[in-house]
Amino acid sequence: MNIGWIKIIIAAFFELGWITGLKYAHLPWEWVLTILSLTCSSYCLITAGETLPVGTAYSVFVGMSALGTILIEFLCFHTVLSSVKLLLISCLLIGIIGLKLVTDNNDA
């Protein structure tokens, strides 16, 4: 696996931290973690562009972040997932996997 893909996964993980932090942080240490997550996410995404096509990297990053955010909201904050949401999430996941499969590591 190309290091760029690993950086995209790490960036999406940190994205979940700062997205959740923006909504739920109240204490100073929670805001510090939110800002740290934002910094790490941005760094990983930017450096992933060194080995992957930027459009592909960003598309996969956004898709993974959206999926992760929806799952965090569902699992931790008990939001409702309708059948339409599940269908659209499935389409998004198929698109992410498809982009990974068709991207040549030498495209960068």
**Per-residue pLDDT tens digits for 21-54:** 998 899 999 999 999 999 999 999 999 989 988 8
CA distance 70 to 91: 14
108 alpha carbon, distance to own chain's centre: 20
pTM (global) more than 0.75: yes
Residues 6+ away with beta carbon under 8 Å from 55: none
